[in-house]
Amino acid sequence: MKVLFVVNGFYAKGNGLSASARRTVDYLRELGVEIRVLSLVNDDPNGPQPDYPLPPVNIPIFEKLVERQGYRFAHSDKKVIKEALQWADLLHIEEPFWLQVVVCRMAKKMGVPCVGTYHLHPENLFSSIHMRKSRYLNCSTMLFWRRTVFNKCLILQCPTQNVKERLEKWNFKPELRVISNGMIPDDENTDKTKIPHDIFTVVSTGRYSIEKDQKTLLRAMKYCRHAKEIQLVLAGRGPREAYLKKLASSILEEGFIKYPVKFCFCTTDELRKLYLGSDLYIHCATVEVEGLSCTEALGCGLVPVIAKAKFSATSQFALDERSLFKEEDSRELAQKIDWWFEHREELEKQSVKYANLDLKYDIRESAKQLLKMYQDALTLVAKVDK
């Protein structure tokens, strides 16, 4: 079975979609699937390159904003695309952007069947320009994506039930299958021993962007009774970094917190150490297709407090209401942080339960389900051909 993965920036860093695609490809290859990648050329000349490299395309006005979000777009070179499609038995679309529109058109003409993954909502795009709640923009974009890309697929991977239900309401034509993007499980010998620390540490990870909503966490410190006893850590990078640092400085100067907020960008190992040396994990995102970064924290025994939002599926990881708060509600978030601060024994008990949650989202199981999806798609094509 020869599968062509199509993603704009397969080797992009600081981009969750690209990281997920790379992990998925690695585990599918372990199952014996022959995979090639059609993508933007890797910026690192010494790093790996896609099998079918494409040059970058610049987007006027928005280019810097797009890059700061960890994205870059590839030029849809039809000669390269044709070569890739001639090799493939099956096409796997990872995004609904212009490259995928062109590839889907050409695949239909060349008789190459297609499956896909729904990785992001229109709201993910428009949050960056403060238009997340624009019904016109979001509906128009969803209709365009549905018509030009997703309805070209035989089967569509929905990372969560939340996504499936939304696409059903939009009357998407493909079969919709709930398959987690999956996370790499800890080795059985991995030490999960907590790292001793003196200060109650609250951590939040994610790109510094509007839809990740770190500002709600910072503002919650104004209402938190124990704010002066908390060390807050925001791990990530992105276009909102300067804004968030300014907000963090203001709550320090106004006396709401005692310890300066720590900002950092971590490697996988550094992030693990951060989680093992923390007490509580906060996830404020208002738009999130799955939020596997949250499960990585839970796997290290961190109890979460997660925003309940219409377009965020991450709340599925919460075991009860003590780990949930209304999106953008800094007062309720402060109340939840205070509750966990004051109930350390319960925090320790719940830590053990959350540490076992990551087993449900094992990427090895996700890869097996994707392989089955590929086999079913090719079977459908064979039946039609008969």
| Any domain includes 187 | no
- List b or e across 81-98, with b for residues whose CB sees 16 or more CB atoms inside 10 angstroms: beebbeebebbbbbbbbb
61 and 163 in a single domain? The answer is yes
How much is the pLDDT for 167?
97
| Any domain includes 112 | yes
43 and 112 in a single domain? The answer is yes
Distance CA 204, CA 244 (A): 13
366 and 343 in a single domain? The answer is no
How much is the pLDDT for 318?
94
The model's pLDDT over 59-81, given as tens digits with 9 standing for 90+, comes to 765 556 566 556 788 999 999 99
How much is the pLDDT for 57?
87
Task: Say what percent of the chain tops pLDDT 70.
Answer: 94
> Residue 262 is part of which domain span?
200-360
Q: How many CB atoms lie within 10 A of CB 128?
A: 19
Q: What's the distance, CA 94 to chain centroid?
A: 12
| Any domain includes 166 | yes
Task: Say what percent of the chain tops pLDDT 90.
Answer: 76
141 and 25 in a single domain? The answer is yes
166 and 221 in a single domain? The answer is no
33 and 84 in a single domain? The answer is yes
Q: Strand (E) positions, 113-264?
A: 114-117, 155-158, 175-178, 200-205, 230-235, 262-264
152 and 230 in a single domain? The answer is no
Number of domains in the chain: 2
367 and 338 in a single domain? The answer is no
| Any domain includes 348 | yes
| Any domain includes 195 | no
Q: What's the distance, CA 326 to chain centroid?
A: 20
75 and 220 in a single domain? The answer is no
> Which pTM value belongs to this model?
0.88
How much is the pLDDT for 60?
64
| pLDDT tier for residue 183 given thresholds of 50, 70 and 90 | confident
Distance CA 247, CA 181 (A): 33
The model's pLDDT over 126-158, given as tens digits with 9 standing for 90+, comes to 887 788 888 899 999 999 999 999 999 999 999
56 and 133 in a single domain? The answer is yes
232 and 160 in a single domain? The answer is no
Tell me, what CATH number does 375's domain have?
Answer: 3.40.50.2000
| pLDDT tier for residue 245 given thresholds of 50, 70 and 90 | very high
225 and 284 in a single domain? The answer is yes
| Any domain includes 191 | no
Distance CA 65, CA 59 (A): 10
